[in-house]
Amino acid sequence: MAGPNLLIGNGEVLAKPTDRKTGGSNPSRFVYTMEQARARLAPALAEIALALDQLPAGAKPYGQGTVVMTIHPRHLAKTRMPHHLLKYANLKMLGSKGAWIVPERDLPGREKQTPQAAAEVYLAAQSDTLRMLKRLLMDDQANKELQRDFRTIERIRLLQPAERLLNLEGDDAQVDLEIVLHGEGSDDVLLDSLEAYAADCGVQVGRSKLLSVRGLVFMPAVAPRAKLDSFALFTALRAVRRLPELRMNRPTIRTQAEGEAPALPQLDCVDPSLRVVVFDGGLGVKDFGRWCKEEVPALLDSTKADYLLHGNEVTSALLFGPADQGAVLPQPYFNVEHHRVIGSANEVDVDLYDCMHRVDAVLRSGEVDFANLSLGPRMCMDDDQPHAWTAMLDRHLGKGRTFMTVAVGNDGTLQNDKGRIQPPADAVNALTVGSASSRSEFMWGRADYSCYGPGRTPGLVKPDGLAFGGTSQEPLVLLNPFARGLTGVQGTSYAAPLALRTAAGARALCAKPLTATALRALMIHKAERSENDDRRQVGWGRFASNPEDLLTCGDHEVSILYQGHIKAGGRMRIRVPVPPVAMGVKLTITATFCFSSPVDPADPVSYTQHGLTIYFKRKDDDPVPFFSLGDHEGEQELRADGNKWETVLHKTAQFEASELLDTYFDVDHGARRRGMAVENKHTASLPYVLVVTVASAKGEQIYQLVRQRYTQLLPVELRTRIRLGT
């Protein structure tokens, strides 16, 4: 008997590089004349220089202040940013954040009284540099490129101390803080200056625990509330915020489930070569020892029962899935390496930095295939200020080596957006998982406790999707040997490892490895959803629970996996296989693009360093954008809906089959650093993944038609002795 139709695994044979024909860039149209720019900016530059002179010397590392330059909404494209001016004045770009402003002026016919997307660029400058900029601004003989750059600036100001103090309400005399610095962890002059000034303010900083990522330094601190305003004068500070507490399936909801526990399988795992890591509270028992090894740091020998309960449940979900499906648990697809990253020592590690560094150390090994994180800081994400956990994870995952699931948190019932996803679930390179309310085929949605989206832009669609994590009416039943039986649980902590089990299981079934990015694309592509689903609630949909679902398709459809590289500044033409069907047949095309990207943590508005612009061509029509509702006016609209720099793009559209002759995607790869243009010849190619499903609207059998027409397309190969269900 023939098995199910397998995913086509070599779609890249239908792709090839092609010339990127352009008609030349449109000449910039400036909102402000040079005279208007001088009248607006000269007084501001003089005022900033004077204010900087008046700051205490100890509050100004290198004698510099942080200047905020707001770029007009019409000049947000990477090629229109004022890079000539920054280079000429030797202004160091520290970072940026998004802003919504009503500009003082706009182009004729485009005047709007509603806020528009803009960028606030953070620059390090001395007062002498600011006075030089003022002279340059007033100089009629200045280089024309510099004059044009001045005309892109909407406003310029000094970053104020109050802007650095975030969410510090309360009356506690001593405040546990997380501080964020612009700079590098290797800059001893900066860190020495911080320690000295902090000591003058009575602030204790945890320099020994710092985490450094590109352009930012994070560390814990303790400060007298009365000294916060003085401490916030330190010019290299980006943010001073309250330390969050640990979230590990909080609030904890667990019940003893009825019934006899199923037996453990008497089989080794399917693929022992995979390195699958869990970061959690530990196991403390050896019941899963055949498939699981626990790593326990010496400092964490002492722990709490609740941590061990949680660690056992997360690991059980990952190894076996729900425990109410039969008398014997299924054979695991892989072995698990459980790293205990919290314990009783975390009662004094109130900042959770030790916990974060333990996760960082394992990921730095670079040999992790899959990982799950069901804990982190209990706080909702901030659109403008990056978090240490998120920056750390994206630094590792941006290499595309590791597939990682992250639970979004369980505070979804909080009001006023306090129930948004919690760091590091805003990581753009992770698969972030919320909890579905039911395993029912039709009646499901977001569980009310599951944190919701959106994420920031880029990374707008968060969570990426849902998996069943249990509810009070329908608990998720897991085997927990530490609890001596079955437990009924609910929480995104358990939804995340269930999603990871699907992805890692699919790789275990394949003879040739699927990449982390390919699996992320397949998970999103195969998620079930309806047109009316709110992405802020369910992301891209409910993930498949069976690994086989990622690798198979029905007779009425064909799914193709493409994997390749696109040069920076280059174009890839990717053809879509269309079956030979009768006139009048309607075909649905579902496409998912996915890539992993290095990030600039100090620049939330320009967080990802790579982006794809994708056009869809059918029959005699001109290529049109596929992943947007229509043409964009410019970079600000792309920023507003996030398409260009998103690491995941997904859409479904229906066409008459006759419209799809000679159908292809043209994919352009754009690169940037800190929002600025880069030299393409010095930029690495981008590994991309595309999954396309072509389906007949009325069930016509097209899988074999495509295989017969495109003989070069081959299905994925399964491991020996693996037979999928039919």
Q: The domain spanning residue 189 has which CATH number?
A: 3.30.1370
Helix (H, G, I), strand (E, B) or coil at 339: strand
CB count within 10 Å of CB 629 equals 8
Residue 563: inside a domain, yes or no?
yes
Domain C-terminal end among 117, 138, 162: 162
With contact defined as beta carbons under 8 Å apart, do 371 and 497 qualify?
no
Q: The domain spanning residue 92 has which CATH number?
A: 3.30.70
Residue 242: inside a domain, yes or no?
no
Which are the contacts of 546, defined by CB distance < 8 A and separation ≥ 6? 502
Dump pLDDT digits (tens) for 355-395: 999 999 999 987 999 999 999 999 999 999 889 999 999 99
pLDDT at position 641: 40
Residue 161 phi/psi, 5-degree rounding, is -55, -40
Residue 718: inside a domain, yes or no?
no
Residues 316 and 463 in one domain: yes
pLDDT at position 348: 58
Dump pLDDT digits (tens) for 54-78: 999 999 999 999 999 999 988 887 7
pLDDT at position 269: 97
With contact defined as beta carbons under 8 Å apart, do 73 and 84 qualify?
no
Within its chain, how far is the Cα of 215 from the centroid?
A: 18
Alpha-carbon distance of 159 to 181, in angstroms, equals: 13
Residues 124 and 176 in one domain: no
| Closest alpha carbon to 641 in 654, 628, 660 | 628
Residues 360 and 499 in one domain: yes
Residue 174 to residues 198, 241, 242, 315, 706: CA-CA distances in angstroms? 14, 13, 11, 38, 68
SS3 content of the chain, % helix, strand, coil (to 5): 25, 30, 45
Characterize the bridge pairing of strands 165-166 and 237-242: parallel
| Closest alpha carbon to 117 in 133, 138, 103 | 103
Residue 101: inside a domain, yes or no?
yes
Alpha-carbon distance of 85 to 434, in angstroms, equals: 45
Residues 423 and 495 in one domain: yes
Residue 715: inside a domain, yes or no?
no
Burial class (CB in 10 A: 0-12, 13-18, 19+), 305: exposed
CB count within 10 Å of CB 385 equals 17
Alpha-carbon distance of 613 to 691, in angstroms, equals: 16
Residues 65 and 101 in one domain: yes
Alpha helices in 628-720 (DSSP H): 635-641, 703-709
Within its chain, how far is the Cα of 560 from the centroid?
A: 25
Residues 310 and 399 in one domain: yes
Helix (H, G, I), strand (E, B) or coil at 121: strand
The token pair at 678 is 């880069």
Q: How much is the pTM?
A: 0.93
Q: What length does the chain have? A: 726
Residue 726: inside a domain, yes or no?
no
Residues 213 and 293 in one domain: no
Q: Locate tokens 């911080």: which residue? A: 194
pLDDT at position 250: 61
Which are the contacts of 694, defined by CB distance < 8 A and separation ≥ 6? 557, 558, 560, 576, 577, 578, 579, 587, 588, 589, 702, 706
Residues 573 and 504 in one domain: no
Residues 142 and 204 in one domain: no
Q: Of all helices (H) and strands (E), which one includes residue 561?
A: strand 557-566
Domain C-terminal end among 550, 577, 593: 550
Residues 541 and 577 in one domain: no
Within its chain, how far is the Cα of 670 from the centroid?
A: 18
Residues 460 and 505 in one domain: yes
Domain C-terminal end among 501, 524, 550: 550
Domain that holds residue 662: 11-19+553-709
pLDDT at position 618: 84
Residue 580 to residues 4, 72, 653, 658: CA-CA distances in angstroms? 21, 51, 19, 9
- State which residues of the chain have pLDDT below 50: 1, 629-642, 726
Q: How many domains does the chain have?
A: 4
Residue 209: inside a domain, yes or no?
yes
The token pair at 334 is 């892989």
Alpha-carbon distance of 378 to 656, in angstroms, equals: 49
pLDDT at position 75: 86
The token pair at 94 is 């520290």
Residue 73: inside a domain, yes or no?
yes
Residues 168 and 146 in one domain: no
Q: Locate tokens 């509702």: which residue? A: 629
pLDDT at position 228: 97
Characterize the bridge pairing of strands 336-340 and 292-295: parallel
